[in-house]
Amino acid sequence: MAIYHMQAKVVSRGSGRSAVAASAYMSCSRMYNDYDGIQHDYTRKHGLIYQEVLLPPMASPEWKDREQLWNAVEAAEKTKDSRLAREFVVALPVELDKDSNISLLKDFIQKNFVDMGMCADFAIHDTDGHNPHAHILLTVRPLNENGTWQYKTEKEYLCIKNGEEKGFTATEFKAAQKDGWEKQYRYKVGKKKVYMTASVAQEKGYDRIDKHPKSSRYVRQNPISEQWNSDEQLCIWRANWADTVNEMLAHNQINASIDHRSFADQGITEQPTIHEGYIAQNMEKKGMIADRCEINRQIRADNQMLRELKAQVEKLAQAVKNSIPVIAETMETIRNHMIFTQYHLLHNEMQKEVIHDWMNHFNPILNKYNTVKKKLKAKVTERKELNVEKEKTSILNPIQHIKLNQQLTTVTEEIEELKSRKEQLIFQAQCSTDKDMTNLSKKYDQMNSNLDILDSQDISLKKQLKKDAAAFREEKFRPEPEQYTELLDTRIQIRPNFRDKLIEQLKGTFGKYYDYHRRDIAANEVDYLNVEDPDVFSHRAWELEYQRKQEMRRNQPARAKKRSYDMEL
């Protein structure tokens, strides 16, 4: 089933990653990092389906070689915590073949990243044949028309003109200086240090004590970088990915689609839980079953029906034992209770189907999540151990240091891969955090126990149904054979009232989940159990109605004649 998954990450030196290592890992290749002198070899890694580098027109053609591209990126960044690249991990539709997924991905990358000026390095992975996904590595520093890197941020100098203060970058200041704007420096005024322009300080004879001009507290971002880094742009990319996938699915005549919106925005408000209260009520609204609510509902319904039966028994005890109206009322009362019980069995069957479908959907996701979580924990432990070993290794042993750095880089990339897979599974499970997944696991266990509760209920309901059927047969054969037609006519006359009463009871117990089709199915099954033919009732009811109308017609002339006689008088 096509799912939506698009995870955005940043490859930063501050987190122990390098762009060269990330590219080598996702492309399953061997690459040398000029920045730290580490050789990254992932040629033994499996699961690579396709890889390619896409470049904008201003980029150097040599960067088609990903090793040269990412070494150029590493060389442009000087600080130990530099942001080197932006990485996206996207899930590809399993319904599409390899060529369609490649075409889909290249079209999306070209229109959304490369056309905006980014260099894009991407690879498609599918280790088990059921999880096609792509890693997209993007440059974060814009390019000039001549192919050189632009700045990501630039210092903004606060300048003065006619008492007005305004910020300019170094490039902007060259033009602003001609219009009379001046930089401000710190001068010593008595015991104080005051910012002022050089012209003002020269008039008053103050000495400058700092060579750095006054600047704004925060640097100014490159407008292009600012757009790429904005939340608004990320939302656009997420929406565009969903649109691109849906267009490809429609083009291939596949009846599936994905949605980039959160579940809350989609109007999906489901919050799985096992506790009683408003959350349990939300479960009920979704057609699922909260065990305590269901048990209490069953107890109230059964007690109400038992009270009604006891009242009927006490009433019948005072009546004539073989009275046809009493027998007819008793039979219809028992029949109503049997239909209610049969309806409850059908409702439970529907609930169990919902639970089974839910469990079948989430069971593989939870199993994969737990497996990935264990692997991730092991890799994190392994990285900690390598860091400890690295700290203990003497600086006089550079070969060991390089070896440990290579191992740390490999483990770090594997951790990032596992994190991406875990996030994808969390999204598949309609969750947001690890805590939600824990709650989902608890709910899965609760659903399993709910099935046991429903099975136990079904046993009790079937026993009650068998008991009622025996009581119905006893009442059915109480009259004499010559009284059967009278009993049938009496039951036909009172059945509409009993039907209305049954509908009211079902709606009161099951609320908005009441289904009249299920009620009709329950009634037919009860009649079959009681060896009664509904067609006999229908035919006899039609005969009685026909006789009633004929009687009315016979009486009409007499009434008309009487009215005519009265008018003559």
At residue 279, the pLDDT reads 57
Mean pLDDT, residues 383-398 taken together: 89
The upper half-sphere exposure of residue 120, i.e. CA atoms within 13 Å in the direction of its Cβ, equals 26
Give Cα separations from 367 to 12, 363, 562 (angstroms).
32, 6, 88
At residue 275, the pLDDT reads 33
At residue 439, the pLDDT reads 93
DSSP string, 393-452: S-TT-HHHHHHHHHHHHHHHHHHHHHHHHHHHHHHHTT-SSHHHHHHHHHHHHHHHHHHH
For residues 512 and 59, the model is more confident at 59
Digit-coded pLDDT (tens) for 353-363: 999 999 999 99
| 202 φ/ψ sector (left φ>0, alpha ψ -120 to 50, else beta) | alpha
Least confident of 302-316, 400-414, 526-540: 302-316
Cβ atoms of residues 136 and 19 within 8 Å: no
- What average pLDDT does the structure give for the chain? 86
Least confident of 26-35, 67-76, 133-142, 475-484: 475-484
At residue 567, the pLDDT reads 46
Over 70: is that where the pLDDT of 248 sits? Answer: yes
Least confident of 156-160, 461-465, 482-486: 482-486
Over 50: is that where the pLDDT of 277 sits? Answer: no
Residue 555 neighbours by CB under 8 Å, 6+ apart: none
Mean pLDDT, residues 137-143 taken together: 94
Over 50: is that where the pLDDT of 466 sits? Answer: yes
At residue 476, the pLDDT reads 86
Q: What distance in Å separates the CA atoms of residue 404 and residue 562, rounded to the nearest whole number?
A: 118
Confidence band (pLDDT; 50, 70, 90) for 276?
Answer: very low
Over 90: is that where the pLDDT of 287 sits? Answer: no
Q: What percent of the chain has pLDDT over 70?
A: 88
At residue 325, the pLDDT reads 86
Confidence band (pLDDT; 50, 70, 90) for 169?
Answer: confident
